Amino acid sequence: MKNVHLILQSKGGVGKSLFTWFIAQAEKETKTSFIDLDESTQTSANRLEYIVGSNRIRHFQILNDSKRLEREKIIALFESLSKAQSPTIYIDFGASESEEFNKLLAFDIPAEILKEELTQLNINLQIIIILAGRDAFVSCYHYYEKLTQQIGDVFPTQVLLNEGTFGSKDALENVKLELANNSITFKNFGNLGDSESGKDVIKLITEGKSDNSLNLMGRITYKKAIEQIKSIIHHD
């Protein structure tokens, strides 16, 4: 059985590619592979190749000329994954692709039918939804509500809160309280802080450098972030 994780959020710039980057760093010594579906930027494909090598990262286009996701496109993707050597695969959806995936479940392939198809392909699908703060939170939460309405309890779903996007500790704590009050289980990632070491890690990500280029404090910040990611992806 192959474990396929979809990283979703219809709001751009919320940390989907950041989370994918940290997974690649945490899993670089494994056989885990990655697919970048973001047609607009291909951010993950460009940043991950130097971490895991070109044979473990590829770009795949799932939208047609009208920027719609069709049954044939998504099934073709899953069929290709069923033949992949990697036992675990993470797929970074772009904002448009995430929105289209929700529409696919709502209007074309209900979650129950998709699960039946994936079972035939020996694929265990898991959903990861990213939530970000500030002006993005309302849109992120709205997408979460829409998508989980379509998924129900058909696929395991994990909610991740990008702590680095909230701007203040009070705003972050208020959102955590709101999620808890709504019985939404979540985990945190992305809190690199405002220190120079946090900025160095962000620079590492954007410039595609090795973590060997970090100073001592930078390496400590980096390792803490990696351990946080490992606690998320190895939760089973």
Instruction: Name the maximum alpha-carbon separation found in the chain.
Output: 52
Residue 204 included in any domain: no
For the chain, how many structural domains are there in total?
Answer: 1
pLDDT digits (tens, 9 = 90+) for 180-228: 999 999 999 988 877 788 778 877 777 766 677 788 888 888 898 899 9
Residue 212: its pLDDT value, please? 76
Residue ranges for the chain with pLDDT beneath 70: 40-45, 208-210, 235-236
Q: For residues 131 and 159, is the Cβ–Cβ distance under 8 A?
A: yes
Please check whether residue 228 lies inside any domain of the structure.
no
For residue 223, being part of any structural domain is answered with no
Residue 148 lies in a domain: yes
Residue 147 in domain: yes
DSSP state, residue 83 = T
The answer to whether residue 176 sits within a structural domain is yes
Domain that holds residue 69: 2-192
Per-residue pLDDT at 236: 47
CATH number at residue 84: 3.40.50.300
- pLDDT score for 159: 97
| Structural domain includes residue 232 | no
In a domain, 167, yes or no: yes
Return d(Cα 98, Cα 228) in angstroms, integer.
25
Give the per-residue pLDDT at 41: 60
pLDDT (0 to 100) of residue 190 = 87
Give the model's pLDDT for residue 209. 65
